[in-house]
A and B are shown apart, each in its own frame.
Chain A
Amino acid sequence: MSGDTNGGALVAYTADANKAVVYPLRHGVKPPISRLAISWSRGNTLRVSVMRNPSASGDSGDEDGGKVVEVKLGNGDGEISDVQWRRIAYGSVSPFALLQSRRNSVSSLSKMSFNSSPYHVEWWEYVLEYSKDINSLLGNRQYPPCPLIEDPKAILKKIEKPTCLKAAWELMELFYADKLSQAWLPEMLVDWLADYDNLLSGTQVTVHLKLLDFQKDIVSLQVIEDHPKFWEVVSSALAVGWLEIVVKLLRLHGSYQFDQLGNREIENGLVETVAVLISKMPRMRPELEAGKLGECFKAKPDFIKAWEKWRTQITKLECSPFWVQCAHDQTREGLRNMLQIMLGNTNSLCTATCHWIELYISHFLYVRPFTVGLENMYSLAQKCIQLKPMASSHRLMGLMIGILSENIEVVLAECSKGFGPWMVTHAIELLTAGNDQADTLLHEERHNLGGISMEELHRLVYAQVLSSHALTWQIAPIYLTSCMQQGMGLLEILLYKQPVYNNQLLLKNIEICRLYELDSVSSNIMKIAGIHHWKHGKKGSGIFWLQQARDEVRLNRIAQQMFDSVGKSISDESFRQWEGLIQLLGSESKAVGGLEFLHKYRDFKKSLLQIHDGKTTEATRQAIESLISLMKNPSTPPRFWLPLLYDSLKLLNWQERPLLNASQTSLLLNKLQELSMAKLRPDFVETDLPPQALSSVRLALATNLGRSILEEQ
C-alpha cells in the first residue's frame, strides 16, 4: 500500500490522480525481449522481470538470459522523504504506546469506580503531552544563530521551510488537544499563519511571498517610501498581524534620516505615531514571544477596555489636522490605509490580504477579536471564502475547513488524502480527546467495514504500510495489537510472512511472538525454520529449531533420514563431526524423538573403541551395558539390530569369560529371531553387511548362551 492511500472515499480524488507517470527501466537486456512479468515487491516497489527468448540467438555465450529489476514508485509526497517518514514512524511508536497504555489504565480505573465518564478528567492533558511529543518529531523550527550585527534591511528571518505535515498537526493540536488555548484560539491562529503562510505560497500568492519579493528589491531602493510596493507590503503584513515586520519597515521610512528630519518633521511624526500605535495593539492572549509586539490581556473585560481605548486613539489620529500638512502623498495615503486596516475596514482588509485564510486572520485581529465557538468561526470562514474565493485548493485549507465545519469525517478524509495513513492513525487520538461525538463515531463498530470501527480501519491500514517495509515491519505489531477485532489475526499473518533464513531476523520475529504470547505462532515459525535449515544441509540448525518447537513428529522423521547416514559415517574419523550434534541433542532432555538413539549409539561406539586387548575392563562392561540398553530401547530402529550385534561380535566371542549372562543372551537371540521374521516384510531394509553376518552373530550368541549357562551353574 503506498503512502498516498485514500483511506475513505469522502473526499473525491482529484483529476491529477489519473495522470500517467513514466518510470524509466534500466535493465540492460538486449532486445528482442520475449517476455515481461510484473508483480508487486515489498512496499511500493514493482518487480519487473525482463526475459529474452532463450533460443533467439545462438551466440548467447555470456549474455544474460534476462534480468529482474525493481521499480520504486514515487510516494506522491515530495515534501517528506522515505527516510524522514521512517524516522517519524520510529519516533511515534513510544508516544502512541504510552497513550494506549494510559487509556487502558484509565478505563480500568473508571470501571472500578463506576464512573459514568469513560475518561479521566485530565485525559486531555495526556493527549496534549502525546501531541507535543509527536509534534517534536515533525521537525523543530531552528533559527540559525543570530548574526552579531543585525542587518537592518532583513525583514524576514531565514528559516528552514517547515513541512505541511507539521502545520497540519499543529492545527489539529490547537483545535482538539490544547484545551488551555481554547480561550485565545483566534490569536493562536494568527501565530499559526505567521509560521506557515509560506507553505501556501506554492499554490497561491501570499503575504509571505510578497514580503519575500520585496526583500529582494529593498537593497537597491534609495527612497523606500516612493516605491508603490512598499506601502502595499506594509499594509499586507499589518493585515495578518506581523507587527514587528511592519514596525521595522516603517522605521526604514526616509523621514527618519537625519538630513531629512528637519524638513519632514510632520511626516515623520505621523509615521512614528502609527508605528507606536501598532506596537501597542492590545492582544487577547496570555503572553507573547520575546521580540513580538502588542500588549497582552488575559481577562476579557480588561482587553475590551484597552481595545476600545486603542481604537479611539486611531480614530482621533485619523481626524487629525496633521494629515493636510503631510506633503508626501504616498506616505499620507499609505498611513491612512493602515489606519483603515486597524479600524477593521473590510474593503481595506480584503485588498491587503491574498487568500481567505489571511483575510480570516485579519478579521480576528481587527474586526472580531472576541469570536468564540466553532459555529461562529465557521460562519466567519465562509464569509471570507465568499470574499476571497479559492483559486486553487491547498491541503491545509481543506483540513482547516473540515475542522471549522465540525465534520469529523471530512477531517479524517482530508488527513488521509493530504497526509497519508500515518497522519490519520495518530490524529484520531486528538480528535477523540474529550469529544464524545467523535469518540462514538470513531469507535462504533460498522457493518460496512466488516464489523470494525473507523479507528481500527485506519490503524490496520497504517500497519499494512509499516509491514510492507523491511525496516518498519517490527513496529507494525504495536498498532496491530491495539486493534481489537482483526489485529491479532493480521499480526499472525505478518509474523508468518517474515523470512526464516536469517537467524537474527528469525530471533527478532520470535521475540515479538514472546512479547504478545503467541506461542503457537512462534513454534510454527521455528518448525518452518527447522525444515528450511534441514533442507539446506544445516542439519544441526534444523534439529535445533525443531527441538525448540518441540516437534516430535518431524524430529522422528528426520531421525529416520539421519540413520541412513549414521550407519555409514560414524566411523572413527568422522566421529568428531557428530560429537557436536550429539552434544546439542544431549542439551535437551525432552523432544529429542528418535534422535535419542544417536546419543546411545555414540556412547556404545565410543566404549567399543576403547577396548583394545582381550582384557575385561570397565570399558567392556560399559559396552555391554550400552548394547543391552540399545537393544531393549524401543526407539532403536530394527535395521540397526544386526549391525549393532555384528559390531559387538568381539564382545560375544570374549575369550576370558562370557560377558553376557543367560537372560541377556536370550534377549539378543529373541531380537535376532524378530529380525529374521521382519525380513519377510516388504518394508525391510537390507543392510550392507557381509552375507554371513547373520549366521556368525547367531553362532556367537549360541556359543555365549552355552558358556553363560555353564558359568551360572
Chain B
Amino acid sequence: MAITAVQNPTQIHRIPQSKYIDAVRWLPPLSPLSKLAVLAVFDSDAYTPSLETHSLSIPSSSQTLTLTPNSRWTPPSRISSLAATASSHPLVAASTLSGSLHVLSSGQDSMVDDNGGSVSTMEPVLSVDEVGFHVGPICGVDVIESECVSVGEDGRVNLVSFGDEGFRRVFDGNGLVGFNAVKWASPSEFVTGGYGFGLQWWDLRRPGGPVSLLKGNWSQGKTGGMVHSIDIHPSRKHTCLAGGSSGTIFAWDLRWQQQPIVLSGVGIGDAATPSFSESEVWEVQFDCYVKPSNISSSRVLPAMFGSEDGILAVVEQGEEPTELLAEPCAINSFDIDPQNPSDVICSLEWESIAIVARL
C-alpha cells in the first residue's frame, strides 16, 4: 500500500552522534528559546551506558540545529526502557538490561552557562536493584508522579512508590509469561503487553491478576509476534494503542473488549486491513498534533508509529497514512513533545537523532 507523500511541510534535522541512542524522551524546556531532551546512550567502543540531557537550540532559518549536552548520569548497565513525566519538575525513569530501575529528577541548575541559558541537572531519586526485583532485563517501564511500574521477560510486574522503601510485587509470572511494555492509564490502572498480540489491563484496587484481557489469539494465528509499545490517550482512557511485530498497530477499546481495531498489520484481520510497514513497530504514540477527521468516540484517534524499516508516519482509522520520515535505517524510539506536539524527536539506528518539526 502506498503511503501518501508529505502533504504538510516539515523541517527535518538529522544530527549525527558518536554513540548509539537506545531511547529518547522530551523534557519540559528550561527557557523559551531552547528545548530539552533526555537520551539513553550506549558507547559500544567503551561498553559504557549513560543517561544524558541535551538542550536543543531552536534554529533561526539559516543556522543548523545543535544538540548541547547538559548533564550526564551513569547507570550500572545499558538502559532498556525510558519514561518521563511531563510536569515542570519531571521525573525520568530508566530501566536497565541487568534488571535495575532508576528514577531521576530533572531540574534546573542555578548556574547559568556561557550563552546565558540555564543548564539542566539530573539528581537520582531512587534506585531499585535488590535481589528478587527482576530476573534478567526489565523490558518496559512507565512513571507517574507518585509511582513507577516495571515489567520484564521474567513475567514480573513490580511497583515502586516514591517515598517507600523497596518495591511491591503486583504479579509474578515465574517466566511462564513475559511482558515487553507497560503504560499507566490512571494512578491506579495500567496496561501491559508482551508475547502474542494480547494486552492486560491491571487495576491496583483489584489485586491478583489482570482485570481485563485482550486475548492474543485474535490474529487467528496467521502471524505471531509481540507488542513492543503501548500508549493511552489522556482524554480517552478506555482506548489503548499498541504496536508490535509485522507492522501491527491495533487499538483495544475496553468498551468492546473482545475484538481489537486493527490499524495496520500483515496477514491479520480481514483483507482490507492496510499494512504500512512489514517490520517491527518499535514505538506508537497518539498524535495530538493531527486533528482527527472524525471525532466520534468510537473512532481511534490519530497515532504515530516508528518502525524497523525506517518509517515514521501518522495513521488514522480509515485514512491514508501520512509519512513524516523515511530513513534507510531503523527508527528505534521517538517521542512527540507533549508541550509542543508539532515537534518529534527520533533516535535512529545509525547513531543519530532526527528532529521533525511540523510547520
Give residues of chain B (175-217) contacting chain A, Cβ–Cβ below 8 Å. 175-178, 180, 194-198, 208-209, 213, 215-217
Q: Decide if B175 touches A539 in the complex (CB within 8 Å).
A: yes
Kindly report which residue of chain A lies nearest to residue B330, judged by CB atoms: A508
Among the 9-residue stretches A85-93, A241-249, A426-434, A448-456, the one with 4 or more Cβ atoms under 8 Å from chain B is: A85-93
Q: Decide if A544 touches B97 in the complex (CB within 8 Å).
A: no
Among B45, B219, B332, point to the contact of A82 (Cβ < 8 A).
B45
**A637 at the B interface (CB under 8 A):** no
A 565-577 to B, binary, CB cutoff 8 A, 1 in contact else 0: 0000000000011
Among B18, B139, B195, B220, point to the contact of A584 (Cβ < 8 A).
B195
Q: Given the known A-B contacts A507-B308, A538-B153, A544-B224, are A577 and B195 also in contact in the complex, defined by CB atoms under 8 Å?
A: no
Q: Which residues of A have CB within 8 Å of B174?
A: 539, 577
Kindly report which residue of chain A lies nearest to residue B180, judged by CB atoms: A503
Q: Decide if B308 touches A72 in the complex (CB within 8 Å).
A: no
**B58 at the A interface (CB under 8 A):** no
B149 to chain A, nearest CB (A): 17
**A160 at the B interface (CB under 8 A):** no
Q: Decide if B45 touches A540 in the complex (CB within 8 Å).
A: no
Q: Which residues of B have CB within 8 Å of A90?
A: 329, 350-351
Cα A83 to Cα B174 in complex, Å, equals 42
Cα A581 to Cα B174 in complex, Å, equals 10
Give residues of chain A (52-79) contacting chain B, Cβ–Cβ below 8 Å. 70, 72
Q: Decide if B308 touches A584 in the complex (CB within 8 Å).
A: no
Q: Which residues of B have CB within 8 Å of A82?
A: 45
Q: Decide if B328 touches A584 in the complex (CB within 8 Å).
A: no
Chain A interfacial residues counted at CB < 8 A? 43
**A537 at the B interface (CB under 8 A):** yes
B 58-93 to A, binary, CB cutoff 8 A, 1 in contact else 0: 000000000000000000000000000000000000
Among B195, B219, B221, B280, point to the contact of A544 (Cβ < 8 A).
B195
Give residues of chain A (491-544) contacting chain B, Cβ–Cβ below 8 Å. 502-504, 507-508, 511, 514, 533, 536-541, 544
Q: Decide if B221 touches A93 in the complex (CB within 8 Å).
A: no
Central interface residue in B16, B176, B197, by most chain A CB within 10 Å: B176
**A692 at the B interface (CB under 8 A):** no
Cα A578 to Cα B330 in complex, Å, equals 35
Q: Which residues of A have CB within 8 Å of B171?
A: 576
Among B208, B217, B280, B351, point to the contact of A471 (Cβ < 8 A).
B351
Q: Decide if A540 touches B175 in the complex (CB within 8 Å).
A: yes
**A320 at the B interface (CB under 8 A):** no
A647 to chain B, nearest CB (A): 21
Count: A-B pairs, CB below 8 Å: 120
**A590 at the B interface (CB under 8 A):** yes
B 135-173 to A, binary, CB cutoff 8 A, 1 in contact else 0: 111010000000000000111000000000000000111
Q: Decide if A538 touches B175 in the complex (CB within 8 Å).
A: yes
A503 to chain B, nearest CB (A): 7
A4 to chain B, nearest CB (A): 18
Q: Which residues of A have CB within 8 Å of B137?
A: 502
Cα A589 to Cα B135 in complex, Å, equals 30
Cα A536 to Cα B135 in complex, Å, equals 10
B41 to chain A, nearest CB (A): 13
**A195 at the B interface (CB under 8 A):** no
Q: Decide if B173 touches A580 in the complex (CB within 8 Å).
A: yes
B 77-119 to A, binary, CB cutoff 8 A, 1 in contact else 0: 0000000000000000000010000000000000000000000
Q: Decide if A583 touches B213 in the complex (CB within 8 Å).
A: yes
Among A504, A514, A577, A589, point to the contact of B176 (Cβ < 8 A).
A577
Q: Which residues of A have CB within 8 Å of B308?
A: 507-508, 511
**A587 at the B interface (CB under 8 A):** yes
B229 to chain A, nearest CB (A): 12
Kindly report which residue of chain A lies nearest to residue B16, judged by CB atoms: A87
Q: Which residues of B have CB within 8 Å of A514?
A: 278-279
Q: Decide if A537 touches B221 in the complex (CB within 8 Å).
A: no
**A616 at the B interface (CB under 8 A):** no
**A279 at the B interface (CB under 8 A):** no
Q: Decide if B328 touches A93 in the complex (CB within 8 Å).
A: yes
**A312 at the B interface (CB under 8 A):** no
Cα A469 to Cα B136 in complex, Å, equals 24
Give residues of chain B (314-343) contacting chain A, Cβ–Cβ below 8 Å. 328-330, 332
A470 to chain B, nearest CB (A): 5
Q: Which residues of B have CB within 8 Å of A87?
A: 16, 351
Cα A537 to Cα B308 in complex, Å, equals 28
Cα A579 to Cα B149 in complex, Å, equals 21
Among A94, A576, A587, point to the contact of B215 (Cβ < 8 A).
A587
Cα A93 to Cα B245 in complex, Å, equals 25
A498 to chain B, nearest CB (A): 14
Q: Which residues of B have CB within 8 Å of A547?
A: 224
**A198 at the B interface (CB under 8 A):** no
Q: Given the known A-B contacts A471-B351, A540-B195, are A581 and B279 also in contact in the complex, defined by CB atoms under 8 Å?
A: no
Cα A586 to Cα B197 in complex, Å, equals 12
Q: Decide if B173 touches A586 in the complex (CB within 8 Å).
A: no
Cα A692 to Cα B97 in complex, Å, equals 51
Among B16, B176, B220, B221, point to the contact of A540 (Cβ < 8 A).
B176
Kindly report which residue of chain B lies nearest to residue A575, judged by CB atoms: B209
Cα A236 to Cα B213 in complex, Å, equals 82
Q: Decide if B44 touches A540 in the complex (CB within 8 Å).
A: no
**A588 at the B interface (CB under 8 A):** yes
Cα A584 to Cα B227 in complex, Å, equals 13
Q: Decide if A503 touches B196 in the complex (CB within 8 Å).
A: no
Kindly report which residue of chain B lies nearest to residue A589, judged by CB atoms: B221
Cα A538 to Cα B196 in complex, Å, equals 15
Q: Decide if A580 touches B155 in the complex (CB within 8 Å).
A: yes
**B20 at the A interface (CB under 8 A):** yes
**B129 at the A interface (CB under 8 A):** no
B309 to chain A, nearest CB (A): 8
**A548 at the B interface (CB under 8 A):** yes
**A474 at the B interface (CB under 8 A):** yes
Q: Which residues of A have CB within 8 Å of B198?
A: 583-584, 587
**B51 at the A interface (CB under 8 A):** no
Kindly report which residue of chain A lies nearest to residue B278, judged by CB atoms: A514
Q: Given the known A-B contacts A544-B196, A544-B224, A590-B221, are A583 and B280 also in contact in the complex, defined by CB atoms under 8 Å?
A: no
B 37-61 to A, binary, CB cutoff 8 A, 1 in contact else 0: 0000000110100000000000000
The 18 sampled A-B contact pairs (Cβ below 8 Å) are A70-B47, A83-B351, A86-B351, A87-B351, A511-B279, A540-B178, A540-B194, A541-B153, A541-B178, A547-B224, A548-B224, A576-B208, A581-B176, A583-B198, A587-B196, A587-B197, A588-B224, A589-B220
Chain B interface (Cβ < 8 Å from any Cβ of A): 16, 18, 20, 44-45, 47, 97, 135-137, 139, 153-155, 171-178, 180, 194-198, 208-209, 213, 215-217, 219-221, 224, 226, 245, 278-280, 308-309, 328-330, 332, 349-351
Beyond A474-B349, A541-B195, 17 additional pairs, beta carbon < 8 A: A70-B47, A90-B350, A507-B280, A508-B308, A537-B135, A538-B136, A538-B155, A541-B175, A548-B224, A576-B208, A577-B174, A578-B176, A581-B177, A583-B213, A587-B215, A587-B217, A587-B219
